[in-house]
């Protein structure tokens, strides 16, 4: 049987219709862009996979999906996730891919389309997409606070994005649920921006889809949510509950990562195109 090339899309797997809009939109864009290639799905969250299985949905892990594709004679696969930065979760994805390739009978050649931000140039590209997708009804003096996952290993990437965004719009702030740019730090920046309190703030999740973090930790009505803390500090706060995978500008960047990885896999097939053992793990 001839060797085949395929695409594996990876999402966290948050439950609910709202959470599924971003990954579904991205998948539809991938299918239109790479119409000749089969597209498979996997979910990175074990808890969400269990929920999907309980409700009768498909729920392959990355490892399982790659092993399945190997058994179906896929020799070349590009894995594209919806990660914002190359933090700990992205690194865990790389490890799982390599385990499937080496020990699980997965495809021989596995490339990885990178996250949105790997370096300063990526941050600039992502900042352009972010500022382009700020809601059109934003007030003339309204600050925008974008909140991502964060984490110590990701702080440097968010700092790159913060600098790139500030070069375009100093009233757009980048915060994180964990790591250096906490809600307390963002409140300090808002007070400095407005010279105290009383300003208006638009709160946007910087997450691929609208899951528990967006609904509860960011937009929740309780006093510990980002919305609750911003309002308690004296600011008016409006929330835009939409995952970034629902915006074409962000989706197109992930598409470009996927296209580049497919191109590298194709190059490895050609005589003299490269050493097939030198895949893209850790090099994106």
Residues noted as catalytic = 149
| 143 DSSP β-pair partners | 201
Strand ordering across the sheet containing 109-113: 39-43, 4-11, 74-81, 109-113
d(CA 67, CA 8): 11
**Nearest C-alpha neighbor of 113 from the set 88, 92, 90, 87:** 90
The backbone torsions φ and ψ at residue 140, rounded to the nearest 5 degrees and listed phi first, read -60, -30
* C-beta atoms surrounding 193 within 10 Å: 15
The backbone torsions φ and ψ at residue 265, rounded to the nearest 5 degrees and listed phi first, read -65, -40
The backbone torsions φ and ψ at residue 85, rounded to the nearest 5 degrees and listed phi first, read -135, 165
Residue length of the chain: 284
């Amino acid at each position: 049987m001839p060797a085949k090339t395929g695409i594996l899309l990876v999402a966290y797997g948050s439950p609910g219709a709202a959470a599924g809009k971003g990954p579904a939109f991205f998948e539809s864009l991938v299918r239109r862009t790479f119409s000749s290639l089969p597209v498979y799905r996997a979910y990175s969250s074990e808890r969400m996979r269990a929920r999907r299985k309980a409700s009768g949905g498909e729920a392959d892990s990355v490892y399982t999906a790659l092993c399945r594709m190997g058994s179906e004679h896929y020799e070349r696969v590009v894995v594209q996730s919806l990660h914002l930065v190359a933090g700990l979760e992205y690194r865990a994805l790389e490890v799982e891919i390599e385990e499937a390739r080496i020990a699980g009978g997965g495809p021989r050649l596995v490339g990885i389309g990178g996250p949105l931000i790997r370096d300063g140039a990526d941050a600039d590209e992502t900042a352009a997409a972010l500022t382009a997708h700020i809601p059109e009804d934003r007030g003339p003096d309204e600050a925008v606070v974008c909140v991502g996952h964060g984490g110590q290993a990701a702080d440097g990437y968010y700092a790159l994005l913060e600098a790139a965004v500030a070069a375009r719009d100093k009233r757009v702030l980048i915060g994180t649920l964990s790591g250096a740019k906490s809600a307390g730090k963002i409140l300090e920046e808002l007070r400095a921006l407005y010279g105290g309190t009383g300003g208006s703030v638009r709160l946007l999740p910087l997450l691929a889809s609208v899951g528990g973090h967006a609904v509860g930790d960011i937009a929740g009505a309780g006093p510990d949510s980002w919305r609750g803390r911003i309002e308690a500090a004296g600011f008016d706060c409006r929330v835009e509950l939409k995952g970034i995978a629902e915006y074409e500008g962000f989706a197109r960047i992930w598409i470009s990562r996927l296209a580049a990885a497919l191109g590298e896999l194709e190059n490895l097939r050609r005589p003299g195109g490269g050493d097939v053992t030198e895949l893209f793990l850790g090099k994106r």
